[in-house]
Amino acid sequence: MQANQDGSLDIVFRYEGTTCTNMGRALVFDYHVRLGPRAEGYPIWNQRCVPGAGDTGHTAMCQYLENPVDLMTAIDREKPLHGESLNAVVSWRRKPSAAGCHCEPSSREHKWGLVLETIHYALAQKELN
């Protein structure tokens, strides 16, 4: 988590999981989030999910094998809660998804929820200390 002069925060969350097929190949995705200042309620200004540097596991996901361009485009375009206050994650209802991969929209939405909930928790704990 890096604080910027304008009060915004740049945060990187690393997700380490496995594919659901192909004998569970390890994969890494980095989630980049930029939040606006606390005084504005930490609005979600920017979101990006990309395979971690050097990761090759994402290429073994079933949807990647079927159509890599479509899958990676979908991952790039999805920015749930973009423009909303970070507090919106607390009431955001998502479908449960235990899949470790990023093939289905519900899997990706679930992971974004984990990312934003973790950031919310970390900022709340920071304010308590």
Which tens digit of pLDDT belongs to each residue from 42-59?
999 999 999 999 999 999
CA 49/CA 38 separation, integer angstroms: 23
Q: What angle do CA 21, 117, 3 make, to 5 degrees?
A: 115
pLDDT at 100 > cutoff 90 = no
Residue 24's pLDDT band (cuts 50, 70, 90): confident
- pTM here? 0.92
Domain locations in the chain as residue ranges: 2-128
CA 126/CA 123 separation, integer angstroms: 5
In angstroms, the first-to-last Cα distance of the chain is 16
